[in-house]
Amino acid sequence: MPLSNIEYQYGFGVYESIRVVNGFPYFAGEHIGRMMESARIIGLAHPFTVDGVSDSVAKLLEKNGATTCNVKIVLVGGKTSADAALNILCLNPLFPDKKMYRDGVSVVTCEYERAFPHAKTLNMLQSYLAYRKAKESGAYDALLVALDGCITEGTRTNFFAIKGKTLFSPPEENILPGITRKVVLMVAAQNGFDVVQKAVRPADLSEYEGAFLTSTSSGILPVRSVDDFQFGTQPAALRELMQDFDVFIAECGGVL
């Protein structure tokens, strides 16, 4: 991809990251399907298909020989559909330390509202700055706070609050519906949890027993603190959900 590519410079592209375990790309169809939807939302025309991209990912993994990695897919638009460029590469996965699952992680908040919530685009400057703010303060991630003062999501994660066996998710129309989030919602429903879509403000976090993040690389990751607010002991229901999720991931073979 030449640096002179104006579409790449301006972020006219979409991307996905797929976790590969034992040589198998987990939930590849869902990830590639979301990439196609992201392209549609921003008007990025291209000649690629879900089946064609899936076949290319499989061929790359076979030739690479990697059994544990992340596959990143970057689709950059062009002046015409034929000018669109598809790039697929293997990256070393960055998994959270095990103690983060035991103790939880700290996050900070940052005011930012994405222009196309349902599109995973290359226009990531504000998210990059928010994530850098988190790293500089020793936090795991930054939670984005919209103009209405409500938490939407992390820079690379989805956000949930929990009270008893009820999960509270920011309204789906305001967030990027994560693939791991989708799996968590399914596992939660199968194991007696309720899910409520509700706006959550940083000032209201004391109403909940805990919170957690979800992402391709981290699965379910408990939140210990948000800015200066500290949650108490990690809720038993959250530990139960984490165990249910781990069992599903181990048994599903990467297919929903």
- In this prediction, residue 2 carries a pLDDT of 84
Asked whether residue 131 is assigned to any structural domain, the reply reads: yes
Q: What is the pLDDT of residues 114-157, one digit of tens each?
A: 999 999 999 999 999 999 999 999 999 999 999 999 999 999 99
Q: Is 233 helix (H, G, I), strand (E, B) or coil?
A: coil
d(CA 256, CA 239): 22
- Is there a contact between 151 and 200 (Cβ–Cβ < 8 Å)? yes
Give the CATH number, domain containing residue 20: 3.30.470.10
d(CA 231, CA 125): 30
Instruction: Mark whether 151 and 223 lie in a shared domain.
Output: yes
Q: Is the pLDDT of residue 3 over 90?
A: no
d(CA 221, CA 2): 37
Q: Nearest 5 degrees, angle CA 208-CA 197-CA 174?
A: 115
Give the CATH number, domain containing residue 188: 3.20.10.10
Mean pLDDT in residue range 205-224? 97
**195: β partners:** 167
d(CA 224, CA 3): 40
Mean pLDDT in residue range 201-225? 97
d(CA 95, CA 142): 17
pLDDT range class, residue 94, cuts 50, 70, 90:
confident
Q: Which residues contact 10 (CB under 8 A, 6 or more apart)?
A: 123
- Is there a contact between 162 and 168 (Cβ–Cβ < 8 Å)? yes
In the listed set 91, 110, 141, which residue is the last one of a domain according to the structure?
91
Instruction: Mark whether 166 and 242 lie in a shared domain.
Output: yes
- In this prediction, residue 224 carries a pLDDT of 98
Mean pLDDT in residue range 66-94? 95
Instruction: Mark whether 146 and 223 lie in a shared domain.
Output: yes
d(CA 8, CA 44): 12
Distance from the first to the final alpha carbon of the chain: 33
Mean pLDDT in residue range 176-196? 98
Q: What is the pLDDT of residues 232-251, one digit of tens each?
A: 999 999 999 999 999 999 99
Instruction: Mark whether 107 and 135 lie in a shared domain.
Output: yes
| Domain hosting residue 134, numbered range | 98-251
Both structure tokens of 227: 């800015």
- In this prediction, residue 170 carries a pLDDT of 97
- In this prediction, residue 73 carries a pLDDT of 98
Provide Rg for the chain, Cα atoms. 18
Both structure tokens of 177: 């519906």
- Is there a contact between 187 and 219 (Cβ–Cβ < 8 Å)? no
- In this prediction, residue 14 carries a pLDDT of 98
